[in-house]
Amino acid sequence: MITVIIPTLNEQSTISQVVKLVQSADIVTEILVIDDKSLDDTVNNAKSDKVKIFTSTKLGKGASMRDGMLLASNEIIAYLDADIITYPQDIIQLLTSTDSFRRC
């Protein structure tokens, strides 16, 4: 199955929408929010029964992405930005489908 990692920093107004979108994908079995020490309500707004929230070990999106990768329990990982609310409903399928990969 699939792990979705959402790095965050002060995304209180959009994180809950992104989490809901990810939760609607049946193929996702793990959702990790890696927070970069937000000063707003990002962490509270990301909370859900299906979401595991961690604080990044270092500042920066790259460090948060790496931390998420090291914490993930699935072999397939997708990253989503916490501040984009215009993702298509099937974004996880689009990012992880083997049909979307081209052979060189």
Amino acid at 59: L
Per-residue confidence (pLDDT) for residue 46, from 0 to 100: 97
Average pLDDT, integer, range 7-34:
97
Is 83 part of a structural domain of the chain? yes
Domain containing 26 equals: 2-96
Is 64 part of a structural domain of the chain? yes
Is 18 part of a structural domain of the chain? yes
- Express each pLDDT in 58-103 by its tens digit: 889 999 999 999 999 999 999 999 999 999 999 999 999 866 555 4
Is 40 part of a structural domain of the chain? yes
Is 104 part of a structural domain of the chain? no
Is 102 part of a structural domain of the chain? no
Whether the pLDDT of residue 104 is over 50: the answer is no
Domain count, the chain: 1
Give the whole-angstrom CA distance, residue 59 versus residue 57. Answer: 7
CATH number of the domain that 54 lies in?
3.90.550.10
